[in-house]
């Protein structure tokens, strides 16, 4: 099992690629990131063996090699329930040291 952090660039790449073959420039446009930033994540995923990079002279294609990955982290719906409510309290009238 390869663990991926929820909503990280790596997990978003794996979700977009799915079971199809995608061009790297098209993937960068869909994820709205620069290709140079995408290259680092793609190399990391390729070295872990999750993705395969088919390098041609004019294009680079990305495909899934393995489907045994998990995502971990707090879901946004869970995060909302973890936030504690802060009750507003009225301040007592305080005259301070000056008025004693």
Report how many domains make up the chain. Answer: 1
Residue 55: give its domain's CATH number: 1.10.10.10
Asked if the structure places residue 8 within a domain, the reply is: yes
Tens-level pLDDT at each residue, the chain (100 residues):
888 888 889 999 999 998 899 999 999 999 999 999 999 999 999 999 999 999 999 999 999 998 888 888 876 666 666 666 677 777 677 666 765 5
What stretches of the chain show up as alpha helix (H) in DSSP?
9-17, 24-31, 35-48, 76-82
Asked if the structure places residue 99 within a domain, the reply is: no
Asked if the structure places residue 43 within a domain, the reply is: yes
Q: Tell me which residue range forms the domain holding 50.
A: 2-93
Pairing of strands 2-5, 69-72: parallel
Which is nearest to 29 in space by CA: 44, 13, 41?
A: 13
Asked if the structure places residue 70 within a domain, the reply is: yes
pTM summary value:
0.70
Contacts of 19 (CB under 8 A, 6+ apart): 64, 67
């Amino acid at each position: 099992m390869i663990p991926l952090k929820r909503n990280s660039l790596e997990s978003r790449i794996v979700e977009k690629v799915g079971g199809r073959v995608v061009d790297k420039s098209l993937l960068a446009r869909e994820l709205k990131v620069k290709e140079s930033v995408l290259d680092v994540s793609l190399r990391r995923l390729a070295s872990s063996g999750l993705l395969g990079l088919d390098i041609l002279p004019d294009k680079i294609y990305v495909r899934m090699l393995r489907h045994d990955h998990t995502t971990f982290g707090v879901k946004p719906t869970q995060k909302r329930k973890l936030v504690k409510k802060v009750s507003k309290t009225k301040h007592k009238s305080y005259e301070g040291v000056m008025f004693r």
